[in-house]
Structure 1
Amino acid sequence: MAHPKRKKSKSKRNNRRMHIKLKLPLLKKCLITNQIHLYHHAYWLDKKLYYKGKIVYEKK
């Protein structure tokens, strides 16, 4: 198994880990209902399930 010849410094380690962090969720505004929702996700509005601006499911 390979072993490093020299110890990596804390700054080198932190620079490598710097790119792995939480991002804000992508939000999109529906053009038909003007509702803000998660990108590529269906959302409920008035007992109707919308996806890509179309009604997918209705509750009775």
Structure 2
Amino acid sequence: MALPKYKKSRANTHARRAQWKAHNEQIITVSTPDGSVVEVPQHLAAAARKGLLKL
């Protein structure tokens, strides 16, 4: 495993880690083939419209 040749400053480490934070997913409302209306994350909307999700 590669090791750093010198010590990084704490500020640099914290600034780098701050970029990894997750974002909230956008929730949208879709109607399913059986007529029910559900709220799902945007990346699952197509599957919900086709009835592929078990909700």
Aligned-pair identity (%): 19
Q: Which structure shows the higher strand fraction? A: 1
What is the CA RMSD across the aligned residues, in angstroms? 3.1
Which portions of structure 1, spanning 4 or more consecutive aligned residues, are displaced by more than 4 angstroms? 31-35
1:51 maps onto 2:48 in alignment: yes
Query: Greater relative contact order (Cα 8 A, min sep 6): structure 1 or 2?
Result: 2
Name the CA distance, whole Å, in 2 between partners of 1:41 and 1:31: 12
Q: How many residues align?
A: 47
Q: Which runs of 5+ in 1 are unaligned?
A: 43-49
Q: Which runs of 5+ in 2 are unaligned?
A: none
> Is the radius of gyration larger for structure 1 or structure 2?
1
